[in-house]
Amino acid sequence: MRQIINLSKDWLFKKTAEFPAVFPEERGQSSASETEWEPVTLPHTWNAKDGQDGGNDYYRGTCMYTRKLEKPEMEPGGRAVLEFKGAAMSAEVMVNGEKLARHEGGYSTFRVDITDALKDGDNLICVSVDNSANDRVYPQKADFTFYGGIYREVNLILVPETHFELIKDGTPGIKVTPKVTGNNAVIEAEVRVQGDGVVTFTIEGTGVKAETEARDGYAAAELELEDVCLWNGKEDPYLYTMKAELRKETEAVKECSADHAPEAEAADTVSTRFGCRTFSFDREKGFFLNGKPYPLRGVSRHQDRAGAGNALTYEMHREDMEIIREIGANTIRLAHYQHAQEFYDLADEYGMIVWAEIPYITQHMENGWENTLSQMRELITQCYNHPSIVCWGLSNEITASGSVTEDMMENHRLLNDLCHRMDPTRPTTMAHVFMLETDSPITEIPDIASYNLYFGWYLGELEQNDKFFDEYHEKFPERVIGFSEYGADANPQFQTASPEQGDYTEAYQALYHEHLLKCIDERPYLWATHVWNMFDFAADGRDEGGAHGVNQKGLVTIDRKVKKDAFYLYKAAWSDEPFVHICGRRYRDRTEDTTEIKVYSNQPEVTLLVDGRVAGTQTGSRIFRFTVPLTESSGAGTHDAGRYIIEARAGECTDTIEIRKVQEPNPDYLFQKQEIVNWFDKEEIDPTCYSIQDTMGEVMATPQGAAILGRMIRQAAASRGDVAKSTEGNKNLEKMMAGMKIQSLLKQAGDAIKPEQIRQLNAALQQIKK
């Protein structure tokens, strides 16, 4: 029988590309030169610290892991296979000095047959793992840290001579395709086999079985389930288990007639859970699950977290799933790569609908074709049986740093064909960058479309999100369109009573999402919407919003400790679990004489109490706004004057915060950049002449204005390198920018344009009469 032995312990680690000839002794027991080997337990990444602290300077190179392995007891003819569930980004496996395998792609499982390299007694296992830059293996350019390491489990799997396939593309050994018709389902089960034998398929707990002989290493059967229990999303994610047993036909068995044949002993067994469901995509009504409308509203997830990087425990995966369940989402985009099998399992168990994808992202590489195809082959092979998955994502913002080329198109066509060949049951999709022209031929490759839009954050006004989809839907009524990313950064330290785009405050993030939630509600045709992101995540190249190395678009911080206010907005919209939440709990010191207390709740009525006295009751939906006068001298019911206890009650639920009326703004609440960028808000402007308060389009329409702005754009482009190159001549982008005020474009350019340049630009525009 198959044995699985966990090999998490007893590894030594060193930042070196050299394979050791003998097992290095552990630190503390050895000479100085050997002390650089560090004992580690898997999962492990060497970028847990430097990949999260900013500066884009985390270690990207080759590192070595080594371990002793005593030759296990094996049946004659049996095989010993090492299983790696994730080694990032490329790995080479060597046993006793013999190089046995190389794997490229940091997010999928791969297995290596080490049998023939094993000797009696101790064996030297060495794994070199490499996350250095190259032009073949994705990802190379993206907004997240490419942690290096053996960051998921390693197992030794022992199988008898006759066994289910386990090497090819990291296959789980069994493939299950349920086809539901009416109350019944036909379940197709397939296995690949090394050796000959008879395969028995059993759907556990149902008595449904089928037996078939493996021919040319393949066996398949169709099993019928009557009155099938559907896998029905969050409501009832019913899972079945399909077990396959492989029996080797012995001579004795072969000689007996079928009726009298003694049961041959099972040589190998594999099993997988599966779910029976139908789903479809409607260009007007969105997603359907089991024939009923099931609007997909949820979040994206990056896997990493503070301190651990991507080296996660099962408990961490579980906690992430619990937080996503708490917000009430019914879909997760597992971005931008293959996640741990444990997480897809959790999605199956809790009825989450999943978008799965490979890290073909930001920049197309002409040498990367094979790697996109192998990562997709592995993703589909390894994840095929998960009922939670409903689509395969071919790429993400692949046109962000270059225009659409024939090479890129062909790579996408090949990927698309591969997905269709391997899995005719699920459609393909792509997450397009906002500036990709909607009629670009690349948008026609995948089965269903999706766009990432950040209007109201990086660029443009909030309403441009609404407009974009309205225009798209009208122009392409036959296309299924989704909203694959939207979000705004917030550092919960930054607080304000007057939130503004680009200020990194918790309050602006909440306002942004209030708009976006409404935008989505009004467009039921969107097949899925995914907030970017559920959790803050490491992007070592970022240094902004008061944080180093972190993308702060999460609704929850990277340590999973702070749920930002916007989290509760979605909870109010999506969750049935009664709750009430007062926003601005971290905005404690307030200077305003009248402050707004905003409450999010999924209850129909909220009462606000200030220092124990009812200040008002409101009925409504999700968002409840109250105004509360503040003075420094009052604040009854508390010890200090100026302190207020604010309580919200909704049904049985309550939430309480404390605020304080103060004279001077708390300097910790303000992101400094805001001060610098906003100077021009106070400038005196002559309205009869052009200024930075006019839109780009209005100013460009005048010859002098076009000359001034043209110069500025050329200068900016020269300093923006590849980003500028990729946006050159982009009609879609030009159209979007034409509708924006120059002032807001400048704000979004951030530090790239200095206050003095803005002053000069405004002075020049003020010379042009309207």
Interface with ligand ADA (CB under 6 A): 142-143, 336, 396-397, 452, 485, 532, 551, 553
Parallel/antiparallel/unpaired status of strands 481-486 and 528-531: parallel
d(CA 652, CA 643): 26
Token pair listed for 108: 């999928």
Closest of 242, 245, 104 to residue 169, by C-alpha: 104
Q: Which is closer to ligand ADA, CB of 143 or CB of 378?
A: 143
Q: In what order do the strands lie in the sheet with 613-619?
A: 589-590, 653-661, 643-650, 605-610, 613-619
Cβ proximity to ligand ADA: between 485 and 540 the closer is 485
Sign of the CA dihedral with 587 first, then 588, 591, and 596 last? positive
H/E run at residue 567: helix 565-574
Judged by CB, which is closer to ligand ADA: 364, or 553? 553
Smallest distance from the beta carbon of 59 to ligand ADA, in angstroms?
22
If the CB atoms of residues 143 and 503 are measured against ligand ADA, the closer one turns out to be 143
List all residues 6 or more positions away from 621 whose beta carbon is below 8 Å from its beta carbon: 604
Whether residue 24 contacts residue 126, with contact meaning beta carbons closer than 8 Å, is answered with no
* Least distance CB 686 / ligand ADA (angstroms): 37
Q: How far is the CB of 614 from ligand ADA (least distance, A)?
A: 42
**Alpha helices, H only, 333-480:** 341-350, 369-383, 406-422, 463-475
Q: How far is the CB of 154 from ligand ADA (least distance, A)?
A: 29
Alpha-helical (H) ranges within 120-260 are 251-255
Which of 359, 358, 334 is CA-nearest to residue 344? 334
User: What CA–CA distance (Å, rounded) separates 439 from 472?
Assistant: 10
Cα separations in angstroms, 112 against 21, 83, 155, 167, 283: 20, 7, 11, 7, 44
Residue number, 25 or 722, with CB nearest to ligand ADA: 722
Which token pair is 494? 């930054």
Which tokens is 491 given?
Answer: 């550092």
State which amino acid sits at residue 356: A
Instruction: Give the contacts of 188 (CB within 8 A, at least 6 positions apart).
Output: 176, 177, 178, 179, 220, 221, 222
Minimum CB separation of residue 754 from ligand ADA in Å reads 24
Alpha-carbon distances, residue 757 vs 664, 675, 692, 761 (angstroms)? 31, 16, 12, 6
**Spatial contact of 732 and 475, defined as CB atoms under 8 Å apart:** no
Q: How far is the CB of 723 from ligand ADA (least distance, A)?
A: 12
Beta carbons within 8 Å of 353's beta carbon, 6+ residues apart: 233, 287, 289, 294, 296, 298, 330, 331, 332, 347, 388, 390, 528
Q: SS3 helix, strand, coil % of the chain, rounded to 5?
A: 25, 35, 40
Specify whether the CB–CB gap between 496 and 503 falls below 8 A.
yes
Q: What angle do CA 484, 489, 495 make, to 5 degrees?
A: 145
Minimal distance in Å, beta carbon 430 to ligand ADA? 11
Nearer to ligand ADA, 138 or 624 (CB): 138
What distance in Å separates the CA atoms of residue 618 and residue 626, rounded to the nearest whole number?
Answer: 8
729 by Cβ neighbours in 10 Å (0-12 / 13-18 / 19+) ranks as exposed
Give 371 or 399: the residue with its C-beta nearer to ligand ADA.
Answer: 399
Q: Which residue is nearest to ligand ADA (CB)?
A: 143
In the block, tokens 């998955």 appear at 389
Instruction: Quote the least distance from Cβ 485 to ligand ADA, whole Å.
Output: 5
Task: Considering the complex, state which of residue 127 and residue 531 has its C-beta at the smaller distance from ligand ADA.
Answer: 531
Of the candidates 162, 130, 152, 12, the one whose C-alpha atom is nearest the C-alpha of residue 82 is 152
φ, ψ dihedrals at 750, nearest 5°? 60, -135
How many residues can be counted in the chain?
770
Residues annotated catalytic, as ranges: 397
Task: Output 336 or 581, the one with its CB closest to ligand ADA.
Answer: 336
CB contact at 8 A, 131 and 310: no
Give the three-state DSSP class for 668. helix
Contact (CB, 8 A) for 151 and 132: no
